[in-house]
Amino acid sequence: MKYCKDFIVVKNETITPTLYILRLQYPETLPEIKPGQFVEILVEGEKDVFLRRPISIHDVDKENNQIALLVQVVGKGTSQLSKLKEGDKLNLIFPLGNGFTVMGKRVLLVGGGCGAAPLLYLLRVLKQQNIKSDILIGCKDINHLFSKKEYQELSNLHVTTEDGSFGEKGFVTAHPILNEDFDVIYCCGPTPMMKAISQYAKQRNIPCYVSLEHKMACGIGVCLCCVAETNQGNKRTCVTGPIFLTSDLKDF
Ligand SMILES: Cc1cc2nc3c(=O)[nH]c(=O)nc-3n(C[C@H](O)[C@H](O)[C@H](O)COP(=O)(O)OP(=O)(O)OC[C@H]3O[C@@H](n4cnc5c(N)ncnc54)[C@H](O)[C@@H]3O)c2cc1C
Ligand code: FES
């Protein structure tokens, strides 16, 4: 079931000048939301932005009926969203997409940059199901490391930064945690990073799920602008995905 409802902004937290976390209040009881699902946001107040913008659900607070979205400013739509203030209304279609398949006894989550957004809520669900997890986050520098406290509360956090300002210096693909054994890998971030982690998982025979951030328009399977090439033919990322097992994807 999908909903189209107004949320109220309860907080707009600046992480860096181009990275924000929006906390949104739902006026009713939140429906079931799976980690890895996303929302389509109606951007108001910007006449050039006609289409809704897809943003992953970063976190869910069921007790208080709130969700959190991590927004990176890249254009007019996300710039407008970054200006939202406490009390502003935001119309969302949600929850969209398939979400992650939660499985295994010990799992690894790998996230890069703001693409790591869906992993926090995934960690919350893994913890509820007593699944042991490690999370490896790759980011530019310490200032771009968001939700660190929450990651540490829910999992074992490992970090790589490009400048060495926190954790190991370099990229996630060289981190020693990759030498350990895992039942499943969940990976979100830039496509080259997801492909590299997918190759690593393939060599070790570990199932690997990725979240594809293809450009989307409708977000509900109608416009066909978001297709991904899979071994079963072209699939709409917004409904069959955005989460795919890499062994099902061509080019991974
Ligand atoms: C399923 C899904 C989940 C997403 N989750 C998040 C999230 O949690 N946080 C977040 O900040 N962003 C997320 N995105 C990306 C976000 O939707 C785009 O950055 C946003 O729509 C850009 O809108 P804009 O008006 O600011 O920029 P536009 O003016 O539309 O575009 C600015 C630039 O961004 C590029 N761009 C636009 N859409 C995408 C896209 N989908 N992928 C890559 N590049 C794009 C354009 O090519 C252009 O170069 C997600 C996208 C998808 C499909
Ligand atoms: S965005 Fe329209 S079909 Fe996927």
Domains (range + CATH), the chain: 3-96 (2.40.30.10), 106-211 (3.40.50.80)
10-64 confidence digits (pLDDT tens): 999 999 999 999 999 999 999 999 999 999 999 998 888 999 999 999 999 999 9
Given a contact cutoff of 8 angstroms between Cβ atoms, the answer to whether 72 and 144 are in contact is no
SS3 content of the chain, % helix, strand, coil (to 5): 20, 35, 40
- Ligand 2: centre distance to CA 125 (Å): 27
53 touches 43 (CB < 8 A): yes
On the CB side of 141, CA atoms within 13 Å amount to 5
Q: Is the CB of 82 under 6 A from ligand 1?
A: no
pLDDT tens-digit series, residues 27-36 = 999 999 999 9
Please tell me the distance from the alpha carbon of residue 186 to that of residue 235, in angstroms, as a whole number: 20
pLDDT attached to residue 251: 87
134 lines ligand 1 (CB under 6 A): no
| Residue 228 pLDDT | 96
Cα-to-chain-centroid distance, residue 242: 10
What integer pLDDT is reported at residue 125 of this predicted model? 98
Look up the pTM and report it. 0.96
CB 134 within 8 A of CB 109: yes
**Residue 5 to residue 152: CA distance in whole angstroms:** 32
Q: Judge if the beta carbon of residue 242 lies within 6 A of ligand 1.
A: yes
pLDDT for position 48: 87
Residue 96 β-bridge partners: 38
Distance (Å, rounded) from C-alpha 207 to C-alpha 156? 20
What parts of the chain have a pLDDT lower than 50? none
DSSP summary character for residue 152: H
Q: Measure CA 205 to chain center.
A: 24
What distance in Å separates the CA atoms of residue 39 and residue 195, rounded to the nearest whole number? 25
Decide: 224 in ligand 2 pocket, CB within 6 A.
yes
Cα dihedral sign, 14-119-78-161 = positive
